[in-house]
Homo-oligomer: A and B are copies of this chain.
Amino acid sequence: MAKHDPNLDLLFHALSDPTRRMMLSRLAKGPAAVTELAGLSGFKLPTILRHLSVLEEAGLVATQKDGRVRSCAFQPKALQPMTDWLEDQRKLWEARLDRLDDYVMNLMKEREK
């Protein structure tokens, strides 16, 4: 029940950009170098590096250098806080529906009297 999870801010923000989502989709299929990601997106290298650092700060991508090439790898576990949040919301929503249900049932019982 995190009141103000900065991790979620970073996660959702990272995913709110189509270029970053494209990068992630590529990386979900396997690791790739920065230049390949740049090629796929059509953006210049510095731009991609910035996006990459956003993804890294959100924990969605881990990178390491092999010689002069930086290899980027998708980190699926980083999505967990998001799915947890979704689940929390669903629970709230369903509890609400349950209460509504009770309410309606009571109304119907009252009517029968």
Contact = CB atoms under 8 A, between A and B. Distances in A.
Interface stretch (A6-14, A62-70, A104-112): A6-14
A16 interface: yes
B12 A8 contact: no
* Interface footprint category on A: 20 to 34
Interface string A27-46: 01110000000000000000
Interface string A66-93: 0000000010100100110110111011
Interface of A: 4-6, 8-9, 11-13, 15-18, 21, 24-25, 28-30, 74, 76, 79, 82-83, 85-86, 88-90, 92-93, 95-96
